[in-house]
Structure 1
């Protein structure tokens, strides 16, 4: 039943050419194909399973298969001490299958198979390490995603008025306003936009290969892809784009600020994912779905590479994720550090890397669009923060002195480690160029003066230069540090910290009232009082007559005086 890692890798590599070649054909011919399989039919109704083969879906599916093959190959190295690695590989394959169902099915009911499959399998993977913290993180992840599931179910009920659930035949109608709100909330929960952001860093309790897959091309991108599919219908409503743009910009700012104060390497990369999801959502809010999908593909490749390099460092430091204990890795792991540097340069949008072709284009379009000045300033500030936390992590790992001794020899000659990093490094370097030449060659660049054209590069350099100043020379009070590091208090508001005040009050009430005054004033107290009085009367009845006479005289004298 379970799959060995290499069998899964061979299966994924066998399937990879099919969507890749199909996407090239569909992009060149500018067509798409729809297949419908009638599963049940009667005189009054029929139930069919539709499949859509469009250029964007096939390209995204090939990206998912390529990244999944590399991640499973890497898990052979990272999970080598796990006794149940075939079971782990099988769960990963279920994750990949759920994502492909979401990509290729244009029917809202059948799409729920992939949508719910992602949520269930993600919960299983987050609690893979069976401890209380992993269970708490898994519950937060599952419950947050259940909000999106409920929104999808409610949107299915709303579409009953239309008599079908097909995404392709939705028309722009005012009666679908509530439907657009439901789909927007569903996409926000899956892609962890504010105020549903706290589950994304919590999901780092999963093994690092899972994080690489979840944060690159599967779970968190499912919300973006859903909104991308529904964008032609949802963009008809005027408040949809503006609401999405404001929420995405706030998410970018919050994630960038939190990443600057974080010391857990996996959470830093997770917060960078959250920031880039904000970039994708904001480009949808600016009515640029093609650029959203372009950045979705490029981000998937360099983010998977970033997680794999972080996983190598965590493995060599005996699963320690604290950035402060690591350093001087350029000598012990030059290949890993080189891959990390390439991934971070692509994340920052450095010229001629994959992220440059999509992210720089989005920033230029934001400068060209008639945006509010506050939104534009926040957008540019988030770009500076991205460069700052990326530079901080890279420079710490290269130049910081190591505060511990790795418990394993840092060898770069394990094929299960080096080959996936090399393949993804190649993708992080060339993907943007190849896609801009082939699939996205019809995008028109905005006419901007030279100083605005170079502004994204200036902001990246400014963020890199300010990283040391922001971290070393600006003191933070305990409240401001807690505000930033807790994702603007979203983490305590959506986790067990919200239960602490009522639980503390309940404990105090139990000690003071139930086990205190109520015991004294109720049955237990009355019982003790009656027992004491009866014992005293029994003692008095057993004493001599002289004792009673003495007590009588003493009481009489007391009254006379």
Structure 2
């Protein structure tokens, strides 16, 4: 156990060291360092050089430093959360491999080498989801892996379609005959990784992973890899006529579905996963509206406060004997003051409360979508999803922080330093990162002249959501909402608009029945008779029956063998 703890501590220190190196570089790059490209040729395929390109720019360095900061805090948090795990060193190495894959994806804008980071993310996330090796984890891991394989195949196809350009560098791409197919493939790859509709069901299923994994993988890195890929490709992709409209439609559908599903969910980690899905939809929507810088800004701030929310939830789960049910928790403000304070800070940042980090990015996205002329229906849905966010956040807080405790009286609630110090670090970042980035980031945002109603529309929707949640989640209806009273809406909400059965059970039913029929008609029927095992058993039975037919005495064997020898000699 000592060896494992040492490895774990060294890994956390390593992440802090890398963060200390990367943070000043990202500030320098944002303050006017520009973009640096480092290229060298590995080998040539006929006349096509295979180049390794490293891009050092403000977008990559800032996101890398965010990933390193979150991973350092998550590794520190997991020392307590996974204290009794015998394989904590294996877990640590997997987390380090995950961070390495993410950095490969960030710093290499070359499609073939980028595939290493992209596939590395998929493979390591699959191993981390099946970490506990129970049937639920294995099922969730299969859904995660198979959905992400769709994106991997699409990326491979885009590599093949880019072959006629003579290079695979994202920055130097131009329009060609296969331009539309390339755009479709890259968009589908990003949609699978960022769990956009109709590939959304794998993200809540992946909550079967340990909570530190959820805090790192499913809040800030893996799910935002798709968004990051689209940000890198945006100049190339946005030149297609249909790209922005299609992306906006998919993103708005995803964020609405996730918000409505989170209203009726009772699993704590699944609520946070659905809220991640909702915010990913918001990032994609802002990109669909042409606001790439704002999408990136929201991606960075969201990563910080969502990791904090997962760590707070993990502390509650750890203290409640690893139960994730909301209805079992309550009254933590009296017993766990630091956790409940950080939990409220994270929820405020998620809702977009004024002067928290989420406010600067989320409020600006909604205001920009109101100010610039866009589809009115899409605008109404975006405002509606803002109120949904505050609704499920208030329900979550009412149940866990202020509601009565429903757990047994012998529950030991503790707040050790390895739990509180990551919380306090990420809490401070959740407060200051929004305002700090808006001062430092080189964003050319034009001034928007708006009426008071337009300006305050996001905050009005947030307050409406909070008020409705407060009234519907009174003592009598504490754990239910209006959607739970009608069976159809309740099932649609719990099953994410039936995406869960459609993308898992529905797709697996036919292949399962076909394989079962093959098993019965081939393996267990004539192949069993004509195969090696069948021939062996039939020859054994034939020889046994021959021996039974004749009188088995030693003289008979000698006679038979001598006859055989004579026959052989005569034939020779």
- For residue 492 of structure 2, the aligned residue among 476, 483, 488 is 483
* 1: CA distance, partners of 2:506 / 2:208: 18
- For residue 298 of structure 1, the aligned residue among 298, 301, 305 is 301
Please report the TM-score for the alignment, with normalisation by the length of structure 1.
0.87
Q: Which residue does the alignment assign to 1:550? A: none
Q: Which residue does the alignment assign to 2:426? A: 424
- For residue 343 of structure 2, the aligned residue among 336, 340, 345 is 340
Deviations 1:493-549 (A, max 9, x none): 1113555699799999x99xxxxxxxxxxxxxxxxxxxxxxxxxxxxxxxxxxxxxx
1:169 aligns to 2:162 (yes or no) = no
- Where 1:148 maps in the other structure, the secondary structure is helix
- For residue 128 of structure 1, the aligned residue among 105, 109, 131 is 131
Shift of 1:470: 4.8
Q: How many residues align?
A: 509
Q: Which residue does the alignment assign to 1:231? A: 234
Q: CA RMSD in A?
A: 2.2
- For residue 502 of structure 2, the aligned residue among 486, 493, 499 is 493
* 2: CA distance, partners of 1:444 / 1:173: 34
- For residue 387 of structure 1, the aligned residue among 375, 386, 390 is 390
Q: Which residue does the alignment assign to 1:38? A: 41
Check conservation: 2:161, 2:182, Cα contact below 8 A: yes
Deviations 1:321-344 (A, max 9, x none): 000111111111111011010000
* 1: CA distance, partners of 2:350 / 2:51: 42
- For residue 433 of structure 1, the aligned residue among 425, 432, 435 is 435
Check conservation: 2:293, 2:443, Cα contact below 8 A: no
Q: Which residue does the alignment assign to 1:547? A: none
* 2: CA distance, partners of 1:347 / 1:268: 13
- Where 1:377 maps in the other structure, the secondary structure is helix
1:263 aligns to 2:272 (yes or no) = no
Check conservation: 1:189, 1:223, Cα contact below 8 A: yes
* 1: CA distance, partners of 2:404 / 2:495: 28
Q: Which residue does the alignment assign to 1:552? A: none
- Where 2:54 maps in the other structure, the secondary structure is strand
Check conservation: 1:361, 1:445, Cα contact below 8 A: no
* 2: CA distance, partners of 1:49 / 1:506: 44
- For residue 464 of structure 1, the aligned residue among 463, 466, 484 is 466
Deviations 1:60-90 (A, max 9, x none): 0000000000000101010001011111000
* 2: CA distance, partners of 1:198 / 1:55: 33
Q: How does 1:29-68 map to 2 (within 5 A)?
A: 29-40=32-43, 44=47, 46-68=49-71
Check conservation: 1:187, 1:222, Cα contact below 8 A: yes
- Where 2:115 maps in the other structure, the secondary structure is helix
Check conservation: 2:31, 2:442, Cα contact below 8 A: no
Q: Which residue does the alignment assign to 2:29? A: 26
* 1: CA distance, partners of 2:442 / 2:383: 24
Q: Which residue does the alignment assign to 2:453? A: 451
Shift of 1:455: 1.0
Deviations 1:221-266 (A, max 9, x none): 0000000000011111121000000000000100000000100000
- Where 1:216 maps in the other structure, the secondary structure is helix
* 2: CA distance, partners of 1:291 / 1:381: 20
Classify 1:22/1:258 alpha carbon distance in 2 versus 1 (closer, same or farther; 3 Å).
same
Deviations 1:306-334 (A, max 9, x none): 00000000000000000011111111111
Q: More deviation in 275-284 or 434-443?
A: 434-443
Q: Which residue does the alignment assign to 1:287? A: 290
Shift of 1:206: 0.2
Q: Which residue does the alignment assign to 2:158? A: 155
Q: How does 1:208-247 map to 2 (within 5 A)?
A: 208-247=211-250
Check conservation: 1:317, 1:407, Cα contact below 8 A: no
Check conservation: 2:194, 2:223, Cα contact below 8 A: yes
Q: More deviation in 367-376 or 347-356?
A: 367-376
1:250 aligns to 2:259 (yes or no) = no
Check conservation: 2:319, 2:414, Cα contact below 8 A: no
